[in-house]
Amino acid sequence: MESLPILSRNPSRNTERDWENASTASSIASVAEYTGPKLFKEPSSKSNKPIIHNAISHCCLAGKVNEPHKNSILEELEKCDANHYIILFRDAGCQFRALYCYYPDTEEIYKLTGTGPKSINKKMIDKLYKYSSDRKQFNVIPAKTMSVSVDALTIHNYLWQAKRPAVPKKTQTRK
> pLDDT digits over 118-139, tens only?
999 999 999 999 999 899 999 9
State the DSSP H helix or E strand holding residue 23, giving kind and residue range, or none if neither.
Answer: helix 3-33
- Write out pLDDT tens, residues 96-118: 999 999 999 999 999 999 999 99
C-alpha distances in Å from residue 95, one per residue of 11, 69, 75: 60, 13, 20
pLDDT band (50, 70, 90) for residue 166: low
Average pLDDT over residues 10-19: 49
Going by pLDDT thresholds of 50, 70 and 90, the confidence category of residue 171 is low
What residues contact residue 82 under an 8 Å CB cut-off, 6+ apart?
A: 47, 101, 102, 103, 112
The model's confidence at residue 8, banded by pLDDT at 50, 70 and 90, is: very low
Which of 12-21, 122-131, 135-144, 164-173 comes out lowest in average pLDDT? 12-21
pTM: 0.68
Q: Which residues pair with 153 in a beta bridge?
A: 88, 128
**Band of pLDDT at residue 38, cut at 50, 70 and 90:** low
Q: What is the mean pLDDT of the chain?
A: 80
pLDDT at 174: 61
Over residues 86-99, the mean pLDDT reads 94
Cα dist from 109 to 4, 18, 100, whole Å: 67, 50, 6
Q: Which whole number is the average pLDDT over 79-102? A: 93
